[in-house]
Chains A and B, each alone.
Chain A
Amino acid sequence: GNSVTQMEGPVTLSEEAFLTINCTYTATGYPSLFWYVQYPGEGLQLLLKATKADDKGSNKGFEATYRKETTSFHLEKGSVQVSDSAVYFCALNSGGSNYKLTFGKGTLLTVNP
């Protein structure tokens, strides 16, 4: 079956530090890959997505590249801000089960000024 493994948190960084949150997946077919962000007390929002191998998703300074050879979709940002403090979820949608998303367990990021 499909599964997503992302690095466990919590992750604590200082403002302007470089961020990487690792995500690897197992899936049948050719999945689409997503990063969602959840700010405190809110629902999940789509941060970025990639639909095929070597695609790079980007939004708000965050980037992730779909690496089929390593089955990975790591999230990166060059310079984090306090406002980036949130929980980040990696997810996939397999072409074989197109209605459902499979989520990782989430990574809590705290950015200190």
Chain B
Amino acid sequence: NAGVTQTPKFQVLKTGQSMTLQCAQDMNHNSMYWYRQDPGMGLRLIYYSASEGTTDKGEVPNGYNVSRLNKREFSLRLESAAPSQTSVYFCASSEGSGAGRVNEQFFGPGTRLTVL
């Protein structure tokens, strides 16, 4: 039981390049999330997927796209990377809403992205 896994762990891009961050969970969770973490800003939600087949914008969605590929996988794409997207990206998952559910989130180890 690996929990939430993310690839790659580290990435360096040049401005304008594109890339996809991968995330997978093996806990049969319904909901998945992408956050970015910047110094002094805490965690900010980029996009989330409440259930398979749905995605919604979070607090800072500009410059990103997501795909909920199936129940296990949720990817984050940067189409044209910018230096402002230099950050640490975390994927998380949770059971999802429903009676009696606290919706505790489980986090992956993060991807450290630098855009030059």
Contact = CB atoms under 8 A, between A and B. Distances in A.
Interface stretch (A12-20, A45-53, A77-85): A45-53
B48 A103 contact: no
Interface stretch (A21-29, A62-70, A94-102): A94-102
A49 B104 contact: yes
B31 A99 contact: yes
Contacts of A44: 43, 90, 92, 107
B58 interface: yes
A32 B102 CA distance: 7
Contact of B90 (A43, A46, A49, A106): A43
Contact of A99 (B41, B96, B104, B109): B96
Nearest to B43: A103
Which of A36, A89, A98, A100 counts the most B-chain CB atoms under 10 A from its CB?
A100
Contacts of A73: none
A100 B33 contact: yes
Contacts, number: 52
Contact of A43 (B41, B50, B96, B110): B110
A45 B107 contact: yes
Q: Which of B40, B43, B107 has the most CB of A within 10 A?
A: B43
A56 interface: no
A32 B43 CA distance: 18
A34 B104 contact: yes
Nearest to B108: A43
B43 A89 contact: yes
Contacts of A51: 102
A49 B106 CA distance: 13
A63 B104 CA distance: 17
A100 B101 CA distance: 13
Given A43-B90, A105-B42, A100 B104 contact: no
Interface of B: 4, 31, 33, 40-43, 45, 48, 50, 58, 90, 92, 94, 96-97, 101-110
Report, nearest first, the 9 A-B pairs whose CB atoms are least far apart.
A98-B97, A105-B42, A43-B107, A44-B107, A103-B43, A43-B109, A99-B50, A103-B42, A32-B102
